[in-house]
Amino acid sequence: MKYMLIMRATDEAFANMGDIDHDEMIETVGRFNQEMIRAGVVLAGEGLADASEGVVVDYSSEPPVVTDGPYGETKELFGGFYILSVASKEEAVEWAKRMPLTGPGFKTEIRRVTEVDEFPQDNEWIKKEREWRETHGQL
């Protein structure tokens, strides 16, 4: 099964990261990444640029409204993610408990990634999705 570990933090927690030595942080995260690679569970993982560089597309109106970041009403921001291939949600939780960047204001949300096999296989769009995945080595 695939699970996405979504790293979230409050604005204050992100601000406090400025107090951490950058090289030390890279080394700590790098050791954690290497541990997951050695265990054969990590499929992907990325950090995200600062929210001030992003935008939000809000579909509440027509046409959609695009707003530059940062996002004033947000209490927590999505800072990065891992996609893991593990046997169970419990295993994903165990990996999340080992995250190196922790403390007040930091959280990891864990969500199962749905697979194409879970959808009706006679649907034309699912057939196209499956074909694309097979062609691009995604299955």
Q: List pLDDT tens digits, range 78-104.
A: 889 999 999 999 999 999 999 988 888
Compute the average pLDDT of residues 59-86.
85
Predicted pLDDT at 74 = 64
Q: Name the percent of the chain lying above pLDDT 70.
A: 96
- 7 CB-near residues (< 8 Å, 6+ apart): 78, 79, 80, 81, 99, 101, 106, 107, 108
pLDDT in tens, 7-35: 998 878 877 877 788 899 899 999 999 99
Which ranges of 6-88 would DSSP assign to H, the alpha helix?
11-16, 22-39
**Domain residue limits, the chain:** 2-135
Superfamily per CATH, domain 2-135:
Dimeric alpha+beta barrel (3.30.70.1060)
